[in-house]
Structure 1
Amino acid sequence: MKNQHTRRSMLKNMAGGAAVLTSAMLLPEPLRAAGLKDLKLKGRIKHSVCKWCYKDMPLEELCKAAKGMGLSSIELLGPDEWPMLKKYGLTCAMAWGAEKSLTEGFNNPKYHDELVASYEAMIPKVAAAGLDNLICFSGNRNGMSDEEGLENCAKGLKRLMSTAEKHKVTLSMELLNSKVNHKDYMCDHTKWGVDLAKMIGSDRFKLLYDIYHMQIMEGDVIRTIQEYHPYISHYHTAGVPGRHEIDNTQELYYPAIMRAIVDTGFKGFVGQEFVPASGDPLASLRESIVICDV
Structure 2
Amino acid sequence: MKDQHTRRTALKNLAGGAALFTSAMLLPEPLRAADVKEVKLKGRVKHSVCKWCYKDIPLEELCKAAKEVGLSSIELLGPDEWPTLKKYDLTCAMAWGAEKSLTEGFNNPKYHDELVERYEAMIPKVANAGLDNLICFSGNRNGISDEEGLENCAKGLKRLMKTAEKHKVTLSMELLNSKVNHKDYQCDHTKWGVELAKMIGSERFKLLYDIYHMQIMEGDVISTIKEYHPYISHYHTAGVPGRNEIDSTQELYYPAIMKAIVDTGFKGFVGQEFIPRSGNPLASLKESIITCDV
Give the alignment's TM-score, normalised by structure 1. 0.88
Residue type matched to 2:181 in 1?
Answer: N
**Which residue number in structure 1 is paired with residue 43 of structure 2?**
43
1:220-274 Cα offsets, whole Å, 9 max, x none, are 0000000000000000000000000001111100000000000000000000000
* Residue of structure 2 equivalent to 1:102: 102
Q: Which runs of 4+ in 1 moved over 3 A?
A: 33-36
- Corresponding residue number in structure 2 for 1:88: 88
| SS at structure 1 position matched to 2:112 | helix
- SS state at 2:265 partner: coil
SS state of the match for residue 159, structure 1?
A: helix
Corresponding residue number in structure 1 for 2:15: none
The aligned residue for residue 241 of structure 1 is 241
After superposition, the C-alpha distances for 1:97-118 in whole angstroms (9 at most, x for unaligned) are 0000000000000000000000
Q: What displacement does 1:37 show?
A: 2.5
Partner AA of 1:169 in structure 2: V
Whether the aligned pair in 1 keeps the contact of 2:34 and 2:65 (CA below 8 Å) is no
SS of the residue 1:143 aligns to: coil
Q: Which residue of 1 aligns with 2:158?
A: 158
Q: How does 1:189-268 map to 2 (within 5 A)?
A: 189-268=189-268
1:73-121 deviation per Cα after TM superposition (whole angstroms, max 9, x unaligned): 0000000000000000000000000000000000000000000000000
CA distance in 2, matches of 1:209, 1:57: 26
Code of the residue aligned with 1:293 in structure 2: it is D
Task: Please tell me the residue identity of whatever aligns with 1:87.
Answer: K
Residue 139 of structure 1 corresponds to 139
| Counterparts of 1:148 and 1:201, CA distance in 2 | 18
Tell me the distance in 1 between the aligned counterparts of 2:149 and 2:215.
23
* Equivalent AA in structure 2 for residue 72 of structure 1: S
Paired letter, 1:81: E
Conserved 8 A contact 1:212-1:239? yes
Contact 1:99 1:136 in 2 (8 A): yes
Residue in 2 that maps onto 1:65: 65
Quote how far apart the aligned CAs of 1:38 are.
3.4
Contact 2:106 2:115 survives alignment (8 Å): yes
Between stretches 36-45 and 87-96, larger displacement belongs to 36-45
For the Cα contact (< 8 Å) 1:154–1:196, is it kept in 2? yes
Q: Secondary structure at the match of 2:157?
A: helix
Q: What is the aligned partner in structure 2 of residue 23 from structure 1?
A: none
Q: Which amino acid aligns with 2:160?
A: L
In 2, the alpha carbon distance for the partners of 1:131 and 1:250 equals 33
Q: Give the fraction of aligned pairs with identical amino acids, expressed as a percent.
A: 89
**Contact persistence 2:36–2:68 (CA under 8 A):** no
Q: How many residues align structurally?
A: 263
Q: What is the 5 A alignment of 1:260-279? A: 260-279=260-279
Cα drift, residue 39 of structure 1: 1.4
Measured in 1, the distance between the counterparts of 2:77 and 2:34 equals 29
Other-structure match for 1:27? none
Equivalent residue number for residue 177 of structure 2: 177
Aligned to 1:188: 188
Render the CA deviation track for 1:8-35: whole Å, top value 9, x for unaligned. xxxxxxxxxxxxxxxxxxxxxx7xx999
Bigger radius of gyration: 1
Letter of the structure 2 residue corresponding to residue 112 of structure 1: H
* Contact in 2 for aligned 1:76/1:95 (Cα 8 Å): yes
> One-letter code of the match for 2:129?
A
CA distance in 1, matches of 2:236, 2:230: 16
CA deviation after TM superposition for structure 1 residue 142, in Å: 0.4
For 1:167 and 1:62, how far apart are their aligned partners in 2? 29
Cα displacement string for residues 108-165 of structure 1 (whole angstroms, at most 9, x for unaligned residues): 0000000000000000000000000000000000011000000000000000000000
2 CA distance for matches of 1:52 and 1:38? 23
Q: Which runs of 5+ in 2 are unaligned?
A: 1-29
Q: Which residue of 1 aligns with 2:5?
A: none
> Pairwise CA RMSD of aligned residues?
1.3
CA distance in 2 between partners of 1:40 and 1:46 (Å): 13
* Residue equivalent to 2:13: none
